[in-house]
Amino acid sequence: MLSFDMEQLRQQFEEVFAAPADRSFFAPGRINLIGEHTDYNGGHVFPCAITFGTYGLVKKREDDVIRVYSLNFEEVGIVTFPVTDDAYEASHDWANYVKGVVTLLRKDGHDINGFDFLLAGNIPNGAGLSSSASLELVTAYMLNEVYGLGLERLDLVRLGQRVENTFIGVNSGIMDQFAIGMGKAEQAMLLDCETLHHDYAPISLDGYDIVIMNTNKRRELADSKYNERRRECDTALGLIQPKHEVDALGQLSMDAFEQVAIDLPETLRKRARHAVSENERTKLAYTALQEGRLETFGQLMNASHASLRDDYEVTGLELDTLVAAAQGCDGVIGARMTGAGFGGCAIAIVRQDKTEAMIQETSDRYVATIGYAPTCYIASVGDGVRELVEEEVK
């Protein structure tokens, strides 16, 4: 994983743009502690911001030229375009995320001039921890501050999702941008993705670590299976609605579901059962954290993975191997996949004095079955997008 400090980044900015940066910003990545595939089913998610993320250093220009450079994609070089360029261009690669933010802000009537912008991220590549949303939010927050646009955090969150949906062309929900924009240190948030009502719960991890475990598997099936699962849930909902008046599966309790789902085809019943049970687990997890019952939270994580494996069928050999290995280690109170599935990451909560041994044992078991190693990181729960002060050295 890349590691940065601000002095290093300031020096690299001067090397690239031949002038010092004016200001520095940071947007985190995110993990979802529990509540997977519930967002589009009218349920709740439970994400938090992490201390890995995207750094952005900026200097305003006197003209209308935008120049962007990423230390993660040095082979792309400096991407240059006028502020009036509002077209997605494949040759601009990752810089389309910056261009998308600029384009939508200008379409909303905000005045933005040229700037030089250096980006550097240490979110594990391909891990499903929302590097794209992190890039969108660090850009949006930077422009809001530098140009005094007066937008609220929630405005920036919605902007990031609009960029993803309308400029990049990915039909994602709002959880990633919301967690990154609204995150708080040592807090997770219970979020209703429909209403955006949210409540914070303290993550009291005294003596415990959150370990992110990357399967290092490419997620080829994630998009197609994601769309398939959405269709299956919509079909199940349509069959349930004549029996029970609900607008979404997340509005059902498990008791109500068991009564109305008897006649559903087996596959649709399994998909809907996950959506309903996972939403209940997520609300129970929020209460458990509020009350400091970490062991209960861990048990809910384990149950979440079992449901994603057996009812929703979005895990796969790599994630199941990784999670089972972690769950079998001394000191682990809970582990589950996080994200869309079919690769990406799992997370575990483990006693700190057992963390090193757990990472080694889990890696050994994974290699024995899969043939290559996972990558493990110890994560901290941090604040959302912000401007960096001089004392913040990462």
Binding residues for ATP: 70, 126-132
Which residues participate in the annotated binding site?
36-39, 70, 126-132, 164, 226
Which residues participate in the annotated binding site for substrate?
36-39, 226
Cα gap 301→307, rounded to integer Å = 10
HSE-up of 176 (CA within 13 Å, CB side)? 27
Sequence-distant (6+) residues with CB within 8 A of 102 are 66, 83, 112, 139, 143
- Write down the residue that tokens 């029970």 correspond to: 244
Residue among 352, 350, 321, 353 at smallest CA distance from 337 = 321
Give me Rg for the CA atoms of the chain: 21
CA angle 383/387/388 to nearest 5° reads 85
- Write down the residue that tokens 């900015």 correspond to: 13
178-211 in b/e form (b: 16+ CB < 10 A) is bbbbbbbeebbbbbbbbeeebebbebeeeebbbb
Sequence-distant (6+) residues with CB within 8 A of 147 are 110, 111, 112, 113
Phi, psi of 163 (to 5 degrees): -60, -45
* The token pair that represents 154 in the structure block: 């929630």
Type of residue found at 103? T
* The token pair that represents 46 in the structure block: 């439970």
User: Between the CA atoms of 95, 167, 162 and 138, what dihedral angle is there, to the nearest 10 degrees?
Assistant: 0
Q: Which residues are catalytic?
A: 176
CB atoms within 10 A of CB 221: 15
Helix (H, G, I), strand (E, B) or coil at 276: helix
CB atoms within 10 A of CB 59: 19
